[in-house]
Structure 1
Amino acid sequence: MIIYPTLEILDGKCVSLTRGRIDEPLLWHVDPVERAKSFAAAGAEWMHLTDINGLKGEDTNAALCEEIIRSAGIPVQFGGGFRTHDQVANWIDKGAGRIVIGTMGTREPDLLRRLAKLYPDQIVLAVDIFEGYIMTDGWRSRSSFTPESYVTAFDDAPLAGVIVTDIDADIADRDASLGVISGLAAQTRHPVIARGTVRGIDDVARLKYVKNISGTLIGRALLARDVDLGEVLAMAAAAPEPVADFQ
């Protein structure tokens, strides 16, 4: 299972958001570039980066995000409100290992499919769920799509994966969130990356036993030092113990 140490950037600073509330960010006093480098030093294979200003249609963090991508020393999975072919192509040209797409999938699904074919295994679909529906525009607008119909609609696209976030539960209710994520993981052929389920190393151990979950994003727990990245990486790399097959 792949651990994606995660940074969220708002107005040039590292933050964490609770249930997507941009007006109530938790600010971390760390250098984003140096923190990204520390992920590689600890042995991470990938990192995840979200430009929160980009989700709002602003490009104020563009230079910083480019510096992080170029300096991290590991591939960066990058999300930030990408709505056009040119935006995606531009950031792949700048070195982003993967591009995370959310709103585009609900409004221009054919464009998303074309991008996935043009950049196979570099496009990741964000599936953000609130009260049983897919959210768009940085978790601010509710679509008419159910998570189940949404993920299966893109089963024919060569996506790198699907990031599933249960906004209802977020960090506060890991069991409910894991239930939603594992349910969707059983309905798509794409590898699923869980978000919002890890507060401690035991949560990583639980995720390893869920079929079709290939990784997890960890942001707040790392920044708060609730988990040690080296320990989490070792846990994720260890072979899971056998599980009895009950009839």
Structure 2
Amino acid sequence: MIEIWPAIDLIDNKSVRLTEGDYGTKEEMQRTPQEAIAFYAQFEQVKRIHIVDLMGALNQKPEETPFIEQLLQQSPLPVEIGGGIRSEETIKHYFDKGASYVIVGTKGLQDLPWLAEMTAKYPGKIYLGMDAKGELVAVNGWTETGQQTIYDVVAATNAMALGGIIYTDISKDGKMAGPNFEVTGKLVALSTHPITASGGVRSVDDIKKLEALGVAAAIVGKAANTDAFWEGLA
């Protein structure tokens, strides 16, 4: 089975979920971030914890850094960090504090030469967060849509030393209605990098369908907070 990376999205040191990236839909999860890490770490399919600083993504700079540093010390699994990462200083800081990977979104999408430089310095350690509304890339905490298509981005980054690309269909995020299988499959075919699916993953059946498409990993958010999802893995 492909790897499962449970998502812990942070606002004010709390684990929350949004629907379609709308900050007005914020819903606090039952488990604290610390409890969630301990819970997820017990499953053999979970190879990595995915942590996002949501206000960092919105405000274009890290907001939860001290708390994330605590979580990095606690986690027995590798952790990837995203949200507001727009400088080499921030990238290096998270690596120095124990992050295994970082996710670059807006800055990397808007400044491809910078992304190429960072991936050359940290090969295989940087993932590109490619969030989309339809086929257009969204930036700044999903509040703005650019002119690039996701296919433009894949073509422009194929030669870079990325760890992979994390593709999120924003229209699916937080709805537990299934991921965008069609577009995810297209990206797998077009990209030289591993594709991670994010947004809408709700069940083991979804995981199996993604695996059949050649997807490397699935980020699971809201569904990871339900017992039914994990019972299905047994």
Task: Please confirm whether the aligned pair reaches a TM-score higher than 0.5, indicating the same fold.
Answer: yes
Q: In structure 2, what is the Cα distance between the partners aligned to 1:222 and 1:112?
A: 31
Which protein has the bigger strand share? Answer: 2
Q: Tell me the TM-score normalized by structure 1.
A: 0.88
Equivalent in the alignment of 1:106: 109
SS, match of residue 163 in structure 1: strand
Q: 1:130 aligns with which of 128, 133, 137?
A: 133
Equivalent in the alignment of 1:23: 24
Q: In structure 2, what is the Cα distance between the partners aligned to 1:74 and 1:173?
A: 28
Matched, 1:152 2:155: yes
Matched-pair contact (CA < 8 Å) for 1:117–1:157: yes
Query: How far did 1:88 drift?
Result: 0.8
Query: How far did 1:194 drift?
Result: 0.2
Give the aligned residue type for 2:51.
Answer: L
Query: How far did 1:15 drift?
Result: 0.7
Aligned CA RMSD, in angstroms, stands at: 1.6
Matched, 1:86 2:89: yes
Q: In structure 2, what is the Cα distance between the partners aligned to 1:167 and 1:41?
A: 29
Q: In structure 2, what is the Cα distance between the partners aligned to 1:48 and 1:113?
A: 23
Query: How far did 1:188 drift?
Result: 0.5
Query: How far did 1:168 drift?
Result: 2.6
Query: How far did 1:172 drift?
Result: 5.4
Tell me the alpha carbon deviations over residues 198-225 of structure 1, each in whole angstroms, 9 at most, x when there is no partner.
Answer: 21111111111002x1000011101133
Query: How far did 1:166 drift?
Result: 1.0
Q: Tell me the TM-score normalized by structure 2.
A: 0.92
Q: 2:190 aligns with which of 175, 187, 201?
A: 187
Q: In structure 2, what is the Cα distance between the partners aligned to 1:193 and 1:148?
A: 15
Q: In structure 1, what is the Cα distance between the partners aligned to 2:141 and 2:17?
A: 14
Query: How far did 1:115 drift?
Result: 0.8
Give the aligned residue type for 1:35.
Answer: A
Q: 1:219 aligns with which of 202, 218, 221?
A: 221
Query: How far did 1:30 drift?
Result: 1.7
Equivalent in the alignment of 2:10: 9
Matched-pair contact (CA < 8 Å) for 2:176–2:222: no
Identity of aligned residues (%): 27
Q: In structure 1, what is the Cα distance between the partners aligned to 2:176 and 2:58?
A: 25
Rg (Cα) greater in structure: 1
Q: In structure 2, what is the Cα distance between the partners aligned to 1:130 and 1:40?
A: 32
Tell me the alpha carbon deviations over residues 51-85 of structure 1, each in whole angstroms, 9 at most, x when there is no partner.
Answer: 11211235442221111111111100110111111
